Structure 1
Amino acid sequence: MARKIGSRYTAHQILGRGSAGTVWLGEGPDGPVAIKLLREDLASDQELVGRFVQERTALLGLEHPHVVSVRDLVVDGDDVALVMDLVRGTDLRTRLERERRLAPEAAVAIVADVADGLAAAHAAGVVHRDVKPENVLLDMQGPLGPGGAHPALLTDFGVAKLIDAPKRTRATKIIGTPDYLAPEIVEGLPARAAVDIYALATVLYELLAGFTPFGGGHPGAVLRRHVTETVVPLPGIPDELWQLIVQCLAKAPASRLRASELATRLRELLPALAGLPALEVDEPDDDPVVEPQEEPSAQAAPSAGDPARRTGAVSLVPGAKPDSNRDTHTSMRVPAPDELAGGARGTARAPRTPGTPRPGSARHRTAARRRRITLSVAGLALVAAVGAGAWWATSADDTPQDAPHSAPPVP
């Protein structure tokens, strides 16, 4: 059913849903458009609407071949909508779910396109804050690039910037998708341009491996891994590409490349990647484990019967419908410093025998503590036994065999 959006646009059908709103296929004065209609609770927030109006110039001014441009902002009654370019294609998550992992040349070409878009945004003072496969669109009508990759465009600029505002989000909350959050965001620091580089490097790792470097299991555990653990190496890719990924996944923001540098370096690597097949990587053993209370926790823990998710982001919206799994903004508690200090400094995603606790996890520490207690008890019993035997032997040697036993004299 058609729906009027302001006086210039008509929304015809729903293309997708997300936590910030619903995307419609629409029609405007200049032809087909995509219309992102914000949720009713967001649209009724006058402060938020005011910020959208104030940022109108910035939203409309961000134009780049690898960015989905915002054409117009509509505020009409209860409707607040962003009118955007219509990209005829699919998102990167859909392709990843279909193919599981991409050949290195195609993966690098796609990420290089996104890095170009981020470079333009960062130059304009805009930080995306939620780079992930769901927010990367592939233009199926555009010319094919290296490895047969379709042109990639980054979408949802401005929404993260405006919804995640200091007055709207308390300091005890963080916004984003756990698998792609930079360590500084987990620790409650401001989001700078470097957080987009970290998230994009995570996307590149996922395109190559089929899983994110720190994902899997309870969202609280995912957050801690970003801060405390190192990334598992990927065999079968050139060392220069691997070192680039490691640099962009550095815990310190200052150690990461800028978006323009990352795009240039990736395109320089493309000739060496031509013809390389998709990697054969063993997926980590993410046996579903309910962590004890001492682990960092989010608002909701997965039920014991939920299957382990090996790819994509950890869903933080319980009972999300299949058509609403493109969630963008979700509030979570920021773990305390003592919680972030826990855990192993090794590689959480390394394959291991099913049922074996991950080194450094609560289960691993509990098992180790039990072993120490058992060994301590056994040691005390052994010492007591040896001491008793020595006392008996000494007493037997000092007492004549024919002497009668008597009690010691009372002083």
Structure 2
Amino acid sequence: MARRIGSRYTAHQILGRGSAGTVWLGEGPEGPVAIKLLREDLSSDQELVGRFVQERTALLGLEHPHVVSVRDLVVDGNDLALVMDLVRGTDLRTRLDRERRLAPEAAVAIAADVADGLAAAHAAGVVHRDVKPENVLLDMQGPLGPGGSHRALLTDFGVAKLIDTPRRTRASKIIGTPDYLAPEIVEGLPPRAAVDIYALATVLYELLAGFTPFGGGHPGAVLRRHVTETVVPLPGIPDELWQLLVQCLAKAPASRLRASELAARLRELLPLLAGMPPLDVDEPDTEPAEDTSEELSGAAPAAERTVRRRGAVPLVPGAKPSDSNRDTHTSMRVPAPDELAGGAHGTARAPRAAGAPRPGSARNRAVTRRRRLTLAAAATLVTAAAVGTWLATAEDTPPPPRDQKNSAPATP
């Protein structure tokens, strides 16, 4: 059902939902548009409305081929809406859900497009703060790029900053999606441009591997991994690409590249990646809830039971499955230093060859136990066979002749 948005726009149908609001396909004086209508509780917050109005110039002034431009800001009664360019295509999360991972050339081309958009935003003093596949749109009507990739555009610039009001989140809260949060945000430091580089490197890792480097399990565990664990190599990618990822996933913000440098370096790597197929690595999993001792007693193997897969963590309780992976802005408590220090240290769980169990996992421990039992049984059989052979040899061997000297009768 169509609804009026202000005096100039009409919203016709819903394109998607997120925790910040609903995106509609709309019509304006200049043709089709996308209208992001913020939630009613947000639009009724006068302080938030004031912040949007104050940031109007920044929101409307960001023009770049790899940024979804904001055309207008509508404040009308209970409606607070951003009118944006309509991109004929899909978002990167939808493509990942369909394909799981991309060929390296296409993944790097998409990341380079996003880095170009970030470079323009950072030059204008705007930090995105929520770079993730849901906020990357793919233009399906434009020409194909390297590896058959579609032109990528970054959307929702400035929305995280505007919704993150002190009254709404307080100093002990953080905003964002756990899988893509830079360590400095987890530790409560103010977000700078480097947080976008960390998030984009996480997205690129996900495009290559099919999962994020520190995701999976409880959101608090995800946050702890960002601070305490280091990422491990992805098998099968050129070392030049891996070193670039490592630099942009550095814990220290100053160690990361700037967006313009990252875009240039990524494009330099494209010829090296031409024709490479998607990586063949298994997604690490969390521990199954069931006792894996059943696996040794002949029950169904743990690998065949349901396990919780790693990936983006939905944060809004009760969210519908179709909407939960679109959630963007959710308050979370900043972990205390002792909580961060008490977590796992060292290297994050490693990607592995397809079908191989993750080291240290329940499945790996069960396999190890089976291997030890097999080796012990084999050793017992070998020992028994050796003893049997020795006994058989002893029975078939005639006794040695008696010593004549010692056997002679004593002389009277």
For residues 323 and 30 of structure 1, the distance between their equivalents in structure 2, rounded to whole angstroms, comes to 31
> What SS does the corresponding residue of 1:250 show, helix, strand or coil?
coil
Q: Is the 2:66–2:113 contact (alpha carbons within 8 Å) kept by the matching residues of 1?
A: yes
> What SS does the corresponding residue of 2:32 show, helix, strand or coil?
strand
Structure 1 residues 39, 357: CA separation in 2 closer, same or farther (over 3 Å shift)?
Answer: farther
Is it true that 1:352 corresponds to 2:359 in the alignment? Answer: yes
Which whole-Å deviations, capped at 9, do the CAs of 1:326-368 have from their partners, x for residues lacking one? 000011111000111122322232222542799xxxxxxxxxx
Report the counterpart of residue 185 of structure 1 in structure 2. 185
Report the counterpart of residue 152 of structure 1 in structure 2. 152
Which whole-Å deviations, capped at 9, do the CAs of 1:114-172 have from their partners, x for residues lacking one? 00000000001110000000000000001100000000000011211101133432011
* Superposition map of 1:5-404 within 5 A: 5-288=5-288, 307-311=307-311, 313-325=312-324, 326-350=326-350, 351-352=358-359, 354-355=361-362
Partner amino acid for 1:235? P
> What SS does the corresponding residue of 2:4 show, helix, strand or coil?
strand
Q: Is the 2:135–2:155 contact (alpha carbons within 8 Å) kept by the matching residues of 1?
A: yes
For residues 306 and 27 of structure 1, the distance between their equivalents in structure 2, rounded to whole angstroms, comes to 45
User: How much does 1:282 deviate?
Assistant: 2.1
Q: Is the 1:285–1:352 contact (alpha carbons within 8 Å) kept by the matching residues of 2?
A: no
RMSD (Å), alpha carbons: 1.7
Structure 1 residues 68, 35: CA separation in 2 closer, same or farther (over 3 Å shift)?
Answer: same
Q: Is the 2:286–2:307 contact (alpha carbons within 8 Å) kept by the matching residues of 1?
A: no
Report the counterpart of residue 410 of structure 2 in structure 1. none
Q: TM (normalized to structure 1)?
A: 0.81
> What SS does the corresponding residue of 2:317 show, helix, strand or coil?
coil
For residues 10 and 306 of structure 1, the distance between their equivalents in structure 2, rounded to whole angstroms, comes to 45
Q: Which structure is larger by alpha-carbon Rg, 1 or 2?
A: 2
Partner amino acid for 2:129? R
User: How much does 1:201 deviate?
Assistant: 0.2
Q: TM (normalized to structure 2)?
A: 0.81
Report the counterpart of residue 296 of structure 2 in structure 1. none
Q: Is the 2:101–2:210 contact (alpha carbons within 8 Å) kept by the matching residues of 1?
A: yes
Count of residue pairs brought into register by the alignment = 343
User: How much does 1:285 deviate?
Assistant: 2.7
User: How much does 1:318 deviate?
Assistant: 2.0
For residues 289 and 205 of structure 2, the distance between their equivalents in structure 1, rounded to whole angstroms, comes to 24
> What SS does the corresponding residue of 2:250 show, helix, strand or coil?
coil
Q: Is the 2:247–2:256 contact (alpha carbons within 8 Å) kept by the matching residues of 1?
A: yes
> What SS does the corresponding residue of 2:75 show, helix, strand or coil?
strand
Structure 1 residues 18, 288: CA separation in 2 closer, same or farther (over 3 Å shift)?
Answer: farther
For residues 330 and 349 of structure 1, the distance between their equivalents in structure 2, rounded to whole angstroms, comes to 26
For residues 359 and 26 of structure 2, the distance between their equivalents in structure 1, rounded to whole angstroms, comes to 49
Report the counterpart of residue 399 of structure 2 in structure 1. none
Q: Is the 1:285–1:353 contact (alpha carbons within 8 Å) kept by the matching residues of 2?
A: no
For residues 79 and 232 of structure 1, the distance between their equivalents in structure 2, rounded to whole angstroms, comes to 46
> What SS does the corresponding residue of 2:101 show, helix, strand or coil?
coil
